[in-house]
A and B are shown apart, each in its own frame.
Chain A
Amino acid sequence: MIRVENLSIELGEFRLHDITLDLEEGEYLVLLGPTGSGKTVVIECIAGIHQPRTGRVLLDGNDVTRLYPEERNIGYVPQDYALFPNMNVRRNMGYGLRARKRPASEVDARVQAMMDMLGVAHLAERMPLHLSGGEKQRVALGRALVTKPRILLLDEPLAALDEDRRAELAAELRRVHRELHGTFVHVCHSFEETADVADRVAILESGRLAQVGTIEEILARPASTFVARFTRTRNVLPATAERIGGACRVRLGQGPVLASDYAALDGPVMVGIRPEDIRFLDGQDEPANAFRGTVVALRPKPTCTEIELDVGVPLVAIERRGLGAYEFQVGQKVAVAVEPEAVKVFPRD
């Protein structure tokens, strides 16, 4: 439905390199990346705010690259929401319809319906200055959606909100997306937030597309150490690999030697192991990829305890918290194991 093709642009020091993205009708795509990776520039190119140096933006098969923003029918909600400060909520929301010269009765009806759907009808006469972050976000969302855009672009819609409001509004975004059968592109820098909303994720690394896929695909098969680190693979360590058929054996520094099914590589590599893939052993069984070490530090988190281990190399594992959870002590000797498919091997950067 929308296709970004070989998009490149230079803005001062910043560059986007050859971005190609496909979006299906009704999809919720998150553009994920750290600050300065170019996520915002990508959606600004789609919205028509920037003209790419090379590449095209196709909407329903039509090249819209040279069209003005107002000729594209693409909704855009910037990070600061940019509610017009000289208009109240109702007028803000009706702006797009008035710009399209719809009759006043239709504008009123559609704005009212949108306000009801987003639960902001009681704020209709308020000025933006007197709205909370979450209210502003809903109004900005409504203002963009009321014109029924082909796609909605959201730039860090949850970043300005308090921690506890964020999950609620993420759920709200999902609900609106479902009810309107919309196509959303959501820019975000937090993997947790992404997991709350996304059908599919495109990860950007300094102006390049690092990986595109569903959350599960990216968690299961990160394409690079950058993606692995960014998706909370806490253990990314240098290692030496030895190819064995379609798999390999890796030696982690001075630490354990592990079998991996992930890739067949030779020589210096990087190894990624997610903390939740490290299993603590009771002592009796000795499965493949088992090794011993010492507990170095404990860091309690809301749902789990992070356990820092020394197994010749530093390693972070987790244990769930709560009743019946195993209690560790610093200095304690432990045995752990990792399944061969959980040992991810990447070429050395």
Chain B
Amino acid sequence: MKNAPDPSLPRRRAKTWAIGLAGTGFVLLLLAALRVAAGEGGVGATRLAVLGVGSGAGAAVLLYRQHMLWPAICVSATLGILATYLVFVGSTAVYLGWSDAAYFFGQERLWARVWLTVWTATISTGLSVILGIPVGYALSRLRFPVPRLIATLIDLPVMVPAAAIGALLFGFVRTPPVRNVLDAMGLELAHSATGVIFVQFVVTIAFAARLMKASFDAVNPRFEQVSRSLGASLPATFLHVTLPLAKRGVMASLIVVWARAAAEWEALMLFVGGTEKQTDVLPFAIYLDWNGGMMGWCVSMSLVCVLLAVATMGAMRLIGGRSYVW
């Protein structure tokens, strides 16, 4: 029995020992690091570090002999990343401090920026989805020449850096026919919320189309065939069968698109430009205040961004459940 796990120790106890050893190693290394940080390095810190590494190595050997090393590595990596996240946010909060946090979070300026982000992202998401649903349906279901080429072209804005899109838009709105139309409609894109929505829409439409395609791909075309054989037209089939069956994917896509729209700033910076109270959506506002050296504002808005992301993901779980897209 060459493949049998080490028989001298039951698996359960081995696991307990490994967790204990690894935990001890981690604490020892942490202590060593603290000593170094406090300027008390030297022999004591080295001893602690060696003990810590040895303890971790012991855990690894134990797990290896029980054929549990690989899952342990995967779980440790996951927990490690999670811990890093917590340290990020936690340290930022500590850096800001309680009294400053209370001050910034009480400021009208901050909430105005949050509100601007939320409503522009919501409108641009709406537009992206309204266009993304038919495009996604076409890419998923309808036949047209050179389908791969067309799908790739539609996908381009996902791959092209947003800054490049901003630069291209700059040229686009200054070319005669487009310019004349915009002038006639009285639309000013530079330094305006309309411009923000326009940029968010252009950047997210490709995401929307791609995610909608994935949502429709997940619906078995058999249902549509049956629906049509029962006398329902293509649009009726889409409305009563395809869309309801793709609902979860569509909802999840909606939230991903919203998050992307709310996070957009590269193209904004090039194309719309930053103006206080006009185009300062959160990511842009962080950049503006950073340049102004207002670190308290930067940090507090970053924390709001994290809270927004948490809320968004929560909403996704609540509405969409687990879907194929996410």
Choice from B222, B227, B236 contacting A80 with Cβ under 8 Å: B222
Q: Is the CB of B226 within 8 A of A76?
A: yes
Binding site for B on A (CB under 8 A): 47-49, 68-70, 72-78, 80, 82, 84-86, 95-96, 99-100, 143-144, 147
Choice from B225, B231, B233, B234 contacting A47 with Cβ under 8 Å: B225
Report B229-262 residues with CB < 8 Å from chain A CB: 229-234, 236, 240-241, 244-245
- CB-defined A-B contacts under 8 Å, sample of 13: A49-B229, A69-B225, A70-B228, A70-B229, A70-B230, A78-B226, A82-B220, A82-B222, A82-B225, A85-B245, A86-B245, A95-B240, A99-B236
Q: Is the CB of A95 within 8 A of B232?
A: yes
Q: How far is the CB of A144 from chain B (nearest CB, A)?
A: 7
Q: How far is the CB of B223 from chain A (nearest CB, A)?
A: 5
Q: For A47, what are the chain B residues with a Cβ–Cβ distance below 8 Å?
A: 225, 229
| CB-CB nearest in chain B for A149 | B229
| CB-CB nearest in chain B for A69 | B228
Q: Is the CB of B244 within 8 A of A86?
A: yes
Q: For B231, what are the chain A residues with a Cβ–Cβ distance below 8 Å?
A: 70, 73, 96, 99-100, 147
Q: For A69, what are the chain B residues with a Cβ–Cβ distance below 8 Å?
A: 225, 228-229
Choice from B230, B241, B245 contacting A147 with Cβ under 8 Å: B230
Q: For A48, what are the chain B residues with a Cβ–Cβ distance below 8 Å?
A: 228-229
Given contact pairs A96-B230, A100-B231, a sample of 6 additional A-B residue pairs in the complex whose CB atoms are under 8 Å apart? A68-B234, A76-B226, A77-B226, A84-B245, A86-B244, A147-B230
Q: Is the CB of B241 within 8 A of A84?
A: yes
Q: For A100, what are the chain B residues with a Cβ–Cβ distance below 8 Å?
A: 231
Q: For B241, what are the chain A residues with a Cβ–Cβ distance below 8 Å?
A: 84, 86
A70-B232 contact in complex given A84-B241, A85-B245, C-beta closer than 8 Å: yes
Q: For A95, what are the chain B residues with a Cβ–Cβ distance below 8 Å?
A: 227, 230, 232, 240
Q: Is the CB of B229 within 8 A of A84?
A: no
Bound form: Cα–Cα A144–B229 in Å: 8
Q: For B232, what are the chain A residues with a Cβ–Cβ distance below 8 Å?
A: 70, 95-96, 99
Q: How far is the CB of A100 from chain B (nearest CB, A)?
A: 5
Q: For B226, what are the chain A residues with a Cβ–Cβ distance below 8 Å?
A: 76-78, 82, 84
Q: For A75, what are the chain B residues with a Cβ–Cβ distance below 8 Å?
A: 229-230
Q: For A68, what are the chain B residues with a Cβ–Cβ distance below 8 Å?
A: 228, 233-234
| CB-CB nearest in chain A for B247 | A86
Q: How far is the CB of B201 from chain A (nearest CB, A)?
A: 30
Q: Which 10 A-B pairs have the closest CB atoms?
A: A96-B230, A99-B232, A76-B229, A69-B228, A82-B222, A99-B231, A70-B228, A86-B244, A82-B226, A69-B229
Choice from A78, A84, A143 contacting B225 with Cβ under 8 Å: A78
Q: Is the CB of A49 within 8 A of B245?
A: no
Q: Is the CB of A99 within 8 A of B230?
A: yes
Q: For A147, what are the chain B residues with a Cβ–Cβ distance below 8 Å?
A: 230-231
Q: Is the CB of B222 within 8 A of A78?
A: yes
Bound form: Cα–Cα A95–B240 in Å: 9
| CB-CB nearest in chain B for A91 | B240
Q: How far is the CB of B207 from chain A (nearest CB, A)?
A: 26
Bound form: Cα–Cα A68–B228 in Å: 8
Q: How far is the CB of A252 from chain B (nearest CB, A)?
A: 48
Q: How far is the CB of B301 from chain A (nearest CB, A)?
A: 41
Q: Is the CB of A70 within 8 A of B233?
A: yes
Q: Of B223, B229, B241, B245, which is in contact with the most chain A CB atoms at under 10 Å from its CB?
A: B229
Q: How far is the CB of A137 from chain B (nearest CB, A)?
A: 14
Bound form: Cα–Cα A80–B244 in Å: 19
Bound form: Cα–Cα A34–B5 in Å: 48
Q: Of A48, A70, A96, which is in contact with the most chain B CB atoms at under 10 Å from its CB?
A: A70
Q: Is the CB of A99 within 8 A of B225?
A: no
Q: For B240, what are the chain A residues with a Cβ–Cβ distance below 8 Å?
A: 95, 99
Bound form: Cα–Cα A144–B223 in Å: 13
Q: Is the CB of A49 within 8 A of B225?
A: yes
Bound form: Cα–Cα A86–B245 in Å: 7
| CB-CB nearest in chain B for A73 | B231
Q: For A78, what are the chain B residues with a Cβ–Cβ distance below 8 Å?
A: 222, 225-226
| CB-CB nearest in chain A for B244 | A86
**B 190-230 to A, binary, CB cutoff 8 A, 1 in contact else 0:** 00000000000000000000000000000010110111111
